[in-house]
Amino acid sequence: MNFETLLYDVADGVATITINRPDAANALSPQCALEFSQVALLCDDDPAVRAVVITGAGKMFCAGGDLSAFADAGSGSRSLLKKMAGDLHMGLSRLARTPAPVIAAVNGTAAGAGFSLVMACDLAVAAQPAVFTMAYTNAGLSPDGSSTFYMPRKIGDRRTRELMLTNRVLKADEALAWGIVNEVVPEGQALERASAIASRLAVGPTLAYGAVKTLLNGSFDQTLESQMELEARAIGDMSVTGDGQEGITAFLEKRKPAFKGS
């Protein structure tokens, strides 16, 4: 599938999604939001995809929503934004539920929906020059892109409120300290490092990774006992998969497992 605003490539089990609007700071246009939903479906439905990397073309990761499109819509901006958010959210929902781990390669500024996208990923690597800001309320808007779900869960309510109400700008090292990214690398190396992590995960037990994602994404909605029951059912299910059988056998035989993602 050819896209106007995204680049999509699959190689050796790793799908790479690149937001490709560098002249517009990789801001999400209506077409970009629609294509994000479509590319997430491709990732979810392709058994060859066992890890996903999301990055931006040029020097920016993503500057958020394309405010010029909102302004051009005039009185139709409410409908436009609901459609855009719906497309973006469908894509995020699919990536949250696909077994493949999703890694953000934050090559530059992540603002607004760009920041939200980083929070929705399972892992994140930031280049040293990257900065992070929610920015929504600077434009008189409220957050979207799943940020009000993931951010309190991953970094806590107080810090989330500070970011969303004050639009504090975090440098890469601060984002690392806050738990927004997993590591910081030198300028120009975010994609390389994220791709290396993805390559390692792509030869791992993909269904088990999916179980981890499902358990963690729902943990705040469960009691202790119900979460433990979900854990028990998941580990039982994983034990009879091909990868589960291979992992157990390899451990007992003291060799490296050869996982096939099934």
Q: CA-to-CA distance for 186 and 164, rounded, in angstroms?
A: 27
For the question of residue 144 being annotated catalytic, the response is yes
Dihedral sign computed on CA atoms, order 222, 211, 46, 55:
positive
Active-site option among 44, 87, 144, 243? 144
The token duo for 13 is: 């089990």
The first and second tokens of residue 71, run together, are 């302004």
DSSP 236: H
Question: Which of 170, 50, 48, 187 lies closest to 105, judged by CA?
Answer: 187
d(CA 237, CA 217): 18
Catalytic residue among 89, 122, 237, 243: 89
Residue matched to tokens 């504090």: 168
133 - beta bridge partners? 111
Catalytic residues: 89, 144
